[in-house]
Amino acid sequence: LFSGKKGKAMDNKLQSLIAEMEQLYQWDPPTQLRNSIEILDYLEPYICDSQIQGDDASGELYNMIRTSYQDLLASTQRHYQFLRRQIQLGGKSSCLAPWISIHQDEISGEGYDYLDVLVNGIFQFTSPDGKIVELTEEMVSYQPTPARRIFELISRISLTEHDIFVDLGSGMGHVPLLVAICTEANCIGIELEKAYVDCARLCARGLNLANVTFIQQDARSADFSQGTVFYLYTPFTGAILRDVLDSLRDEASRREIRICTYGPCTTTVAKEHWLEAIDPVELDQIALFHRRN
Ligand SMILES: C[S@@+](CC[C@H](N)C(=O)[O-])C[C@H]1O[C@@H](n2cnc3c(N)ncnc32)[C@H](O)[C@@H]1O
């Protein structure tokens, strides 16, 4: 890796990363954490590759990188612990505020990024324990909403302490957990898979969150009568989605509710005649709907 033409280019890149790492502590904490996560992500393949060899100079560079990597990793982990502690002590909404606002100017784009690493560093999920039940054809298997999209949801939907936010098919609970941390709303996650519900409950307990509950249930038989905002990241399709949308339409005929979607289900939900998009719908972003009057 560190020899020849390609090796020289790599040496230069790694050397400039070392210089960047030395500057890290001059930046504000959110930028610092973001850059640290991105540098760690870049370096990880080199650190994990035990086959890396080179001449003496490159060997020295590699040792330097490995030491810097370990220091940086330890410092990001301390930062996650610090944020966990703030959440546990009740300083919820303010501690993640810098990341909600950072997200605002980078709203485009799909996929996972440093915000997911940050959120997982805070949540510290245990691996799902126990058998994952096989879902039927119209049930979509687990994939979390990218953290960037959850922050987008939080910043666009203005939840108050009077809201009850319900994630239908909540998986390990990323969305209700983050909404519960960043807002005063009461949050509910409804999820069929027991192993995911157990992980989500454990995480909520570890963070001392009193405003989030997880229920193991098929969304079709859930009680929708308390919810004010319902979120769907394409948890199911076809007849199941139809059943759930019909139940939501019944609720909407009695009172104001809002529906938020992400992923392919947005196209189906946008066609519901009883719903109206609050903002223009962009398929790679969160879509917000309320009842058409
Ligand atoms: C695409 S994942 C979304 C996870 C979560 N909402 C998020 O955004 O991070 C879909 C989830 O829905 C769950 N699911 C599928 N069918 C379901 C049903 N009928 N009732 C409840 N949960 C269901 C799956 O187990 C899976 O965890």
- pTM of the full structure: 0.89
Give me the mean pLDDT over the 253-272 stretch: 97
Q: Is the CB of 169 under 6 A from ligand 1?
A: yes
Backbone dihedral region of 256: left (phi > 0), alpha (psi from -120 to 50 degrees) or beta? Answer: beta
User: What pLDDT, in 10s, does the model give residues 226-258?
Assistant: 999 999 999 999 999 999 999 999 999 999 999
Give me the mean pLDDT over the 186-212 stretch: 96
Q: Is the CB of 180 under 6 A from ligand 1?
A: no
pLDDT of residue 134: 74
State the pLDDT confidence band at 92, using cuts at 50, 70 and 90.
Answer: low
pLDDT of residue 31: 81
> 2 is written with which tokens?
């560190």
In 89-136, where does DSSP find H-type helix?
92-95, 97-104, 114-123
**Atom of ligand 1 minimally distant from the CA of 138:** 16
Give me the mean pLDDT over the 133-137 stretch: 81
Does residue 110 surpass a pLDDT of 70? Answer: no
Rounded Cα gap, residues 286 and 231, in angstroms: 10
Task: Report the separation in Å between the CA atom of 190 and the middle of ligand 1, taken as the mean of its atom positions.
Answer: 8
Which residue, chain included where needed, has tokens 């999920």?
125
Q: Specify the amino acid at residue 272.
A: E
User: What pLDDT, in 10s, does the model give residues 205-226?
Assistant: 999 999 999 999 999 999 999 9
Rounded Cα gap, residues 179 and 186, in angstroms: 9
The closest residue, in CA terms, to atom 5 on ligand 1 is 170
Alpha carbon of 136 to those of 5, 199, 239, 242: distances in Å? 53, 22, 12, 15
The closest residue, in CA terms, to atom 22 on ligand 1 is 169
pLDDT of residue 28: 74
Beta strands in the chain (DSSP E): 164-168, 186-191, 212-216, 229-233, 258-262, 275-277, 287-291
Q: Is the CB of 125 under 6 A from ligand 1?
A: no
pLDDT of residue 102: 63
pLDDT of residue 111: 83
- Rank 38-52, 93-107, 168-182 by mean pLDDT and report only the highest: 168-182
User: What pLDDT, in 10s, does the model give residues 24-80?
Assistant: 767 777 788 888 898 888 888 777 765 555 555 567 777 878 888 888 899 899 999
Does residue 157 surpass a pLDDT of 90? Answer: yes
State the pLDDT confidence band at 95, using cuts at 50, 70 and 90.
Answer: confident
pLDDT of residue 103: 52
**Average model confidence (pLDDT) for the chain?**
87
pLDDT of residue 109: 60
Q: Is the CB of 150 under 6 A from ligand 1?
A: no
Task: Report the separation in Å between the CA atom of 100 and the middle of ligand 1, taken as the mean of its atom positions.
Answer: 24
The closest residue, in CA terms, to atom 9 on ligand 1 is 144
Task: Report the separation in Å between the CA atom of 214 and the middle of ligand 1, taken as the mean of its atom positions.
Answer: 12
Task: Report the separation in Å between the CA atom of 168 and the middle of ligand 1, taken as the mean of its atom positions.
Answer: 7
Give me the mean pLDDT over the 161-173 stretch: 98
pLDDT of residue 69: 87
Give me the mean pLDDT over the 91-112 stretch: 70
pLDDT of residue 6: 47
Rounded Cα gap, residues 61 and 66, in angstroms: 9
**Atom of ligand 1 minimally distant from the CA of 196:** 27
Q: Is the CB of 144 under 6 A from ligand 1?
A: yes
